[in-house]
Amino acid sequence: MVDSTQTEYERVTELLGRPPSGKFEVVVRDDSGDPIVIRNYPVLDDGKPMPTLYWLVGEKLRSRIGTLESSGGVKNAEAEVDPDELTQAHLRYAKERDAEIPDTYEGHRPSAGVGGTRKGVKCLHAHYAWFLAGGDDPVGKWVHQQLEETNE
């Protein structure tokens, strides 16, 4: 993992409304170079596990997905996405996140899949962040389709 620069740290702090709790790198940017998705190190600076590997920080997308969630998006995604595909996505996500933790690490490890859940959908933001970063996430694909439909 590449550490963030001071400028990235300051901008992500501004986007989150608080300082990040651990190491991260910006993995998706908008056309102007502003951070959209960060990739978190799976253990925070205080030693607590960080189950959310990819975090959506882009203001516009966070707002649009918040609107989607508030209109029943989580339930709709769970109803429309194949549950077996979602289970496999959680397993892929956990495997990718856990690969970041050194074998010598002896502290508490993060568990579960996207957004720290083992099944179903907890947070559309987390799924979409992984999708934007190149993850094979059926919920992220579903969110993308919903956002495209609302842009028409």
Q: What is the CA radius of gyration of the chain?
A: 15
Neighbouring C-beta atoms of residue 78, cutoff 10 Å: 15
DSSP for residue 16: H
pLDDT for residue 2: 63
Q: How far apart are CA 94 and CA 92, in angstroms?
A: 6
Dihedral sign of CA atoms 5, 6, 9, 12 in order: negative
pLDDT digits (tens, 9 = 90+) for 27-57: 999 999 999 999 999 999 898 999 899 999 9
Q: Which of 80, 72, 77, 150 is nearest to 114 (CA)?
A: 77
Q: How far apart are CA 90 and CA 121, in angstroms?
A: 10
pLDDT digits (tens, 9 = 90+) for 10-22: 999 999 999 999 9
Q: How far apart are CA 142 and CA 50, in angstroms?
A: 25
pLDDT digits (tens, 9 = 90+) for 92-143: 999 999 999 988 888 888 989 998 898 899 999 999 999 999 999 999 999 9
Q: Which of 27, 4, 59, 25 is nearest to 133 (CA)?
A: 27
Domains in the chain: boundaries:
6-151
